[in-house]
Structure 1
């Protein structure tokens, strides 16, 4: 972890601590497999051990942490098979969400998504990956909300929580990041055209590209270790 600190407000401490830890995991401040030092994190977040441990339990329920008996908590490290399986299911879920969203989207929804797309592209131009990814998450969450299927939405959120860090790091390659921005632009266009088949296909291809980028990154890391 880096040396920065960011104390959190005293209200809703476990939820706030969980969100801070989730951000650290997504943005690489806590690496896959890292064991969490309670004392250090208490100081860094400005909380006591009780809300911190509750935050650990929340993130363990989301699949981001694993709690080991008598050994504390550590960040989950996904295997290539975990990644492959997860992204295959995510692609199917996002494709279905796209089709449903086309049937239920309003003009106001499209205007909101276009505004978010503009914000995301501004972050991309400024090379601000954390801001870009936060807006990216909002766009995908908004598409799922427009789809209006509670079962799909819950399944999506549960699985996507485990993949957020990998999706974030897939944009560290500039060419792939540029490609992702262009794909998002095409998604909004397909939604505005009420073309469900096109949006489904775009979302599935987008997730498959993410899967390939993540697996290639994992292979490179393995090669460096070897």
Structure 2
């Protein structure tokens, strides 16, 4: 699978990191795939140094791991770990929605429109970016910078799960209707409802995504048996 070459600039590390993160999330670099510094440097048209630094960051984030006799490989998705991450996300989402409601924050409705447009297309990256932008807007609207910082740490992994599911299906129906309902509650200043809808949204998403991953694992085990 080809990767987009990075245009010339002074500092490549952030660009290499983001490019590889997008590739992992979209499945261009699949779970279990071996990763080498030399190959990526050639495919991205950059020197080895920024690739090495980006790989170290990705390993630290848990997206890459050491495999005996193979070096670095893309880490496999762990349904149990993902379930735990979604529990944390649900708590943060509920708190952010409640705080945003108390401030009568205005979430741009254009985010909903962009999400609906992405959902009817086939661009997995666009779907992930739209979902991320929506939730980040609520985190920022909470007025608590610690929510933003903590929540976005988890999205590194959550976007991988979303990407894995979206590669196999069109995603969960009604997701942007749920988003729209959360926004309405925030705009109305109804903190209890906004928080409840946010937690419910995350719980349903967790069950759907983890269930999809577990099903995929079972199918793979049957094929390898």
Structure-2-length-normalised TM-score: 0.87
For 2:74, the equivalent position in structure 1 comes to 75
Question: Quick one: distance in 2 between partners of 1:170 and 1:202?
Answer: 22
For 2:216, the equivalent position in structure 1 comes to 221
Question: Quick one: distance in 2 between partners of 1:123 and 1:163?
Answer: 18
For 2:188, the equivalent position in structure 1 comes to 193
Question: Quick one: distance in 1 between partners of 2:217 and 2:82?
Answer: 15
For 2:97, the equivalent position in structure 1 comes to 98
Gaps of 5+ in 2: none
List aligned pairs for 1:172-187, cutoff 5 A. Answer: 172-174=168-170, 176-187=171-182
Deviation at 1:4, TM superposition (A): 4.5
For 1:143, the equivalent position in structure 2 comes to 138
**Does the Cα contact within 8 Å between 2:94 and 2:195 map onto a contact in 1?**
yes
**Does the Cα contact within 8 Å between 2:103 and 2:189 map onto a contact in 1?**
no
Question: Quick one: distance in 2 between partners of 1:81 and 1:135?
Answer: 25
**Cα deviations by residue, 1:117-162 (Å, 9 ceiling, x for unpaired):** 1112122233433212212111111111111222222221222212
Question: Quick one: distance in 2 between partners of 1:203 and 1:152?
Answer: 14
Deviates more, 1:130-139 or 1:2-11: 2-11
For 2:10, the equivalent position in structure 1 comes to 11
Deviation at 1:55, TM superposition (A): 0.9
**Does the Cα contact within 8 Å between 1:8 and 1:17 map onto a contact in 2?**
no
Q: 1:55 to 1:69 in 2, by over 3 A?
A: farther
Q: 3-state SS of the aligned residue for 2:32? A: coil
For 2:61, the equivalent position in structure 1 comes to 62
Deviation at 1:114, TM superposition (A): 0.2
Q: 3-state SS of the aligned residue for 2:173? A: helix
How many pairs does the alignment contain?
Answer: 220
For 1:129, the equivalent position in structure 2 comes to 124
Deviates more, 1:15-24 or 1:190-199: 190-199
Question: Quick one: distance in 2 between partners of 1:152 and 1:160?
Answer: 12
Q: 1:190 to 1:173 in 2, by over 3 A?
A: farther
Please, what is the CA RMSD of the aligned residues?
2.2
**Does the Cα contact within 8 Å between 2:104 and 2:188 map onto a contact in 1?**
no
Higher helix share: 1
For 1:87, the equivalent position in structure 2 comes to 86
Question: Quick one: distance in 1 between partners of 2:52 and 2:70?
Answer: 13
Moved over 6 A (4+): none
Question: Quick one: distance in 2 between partners of 1:199 and 1:167?
Answer: 23
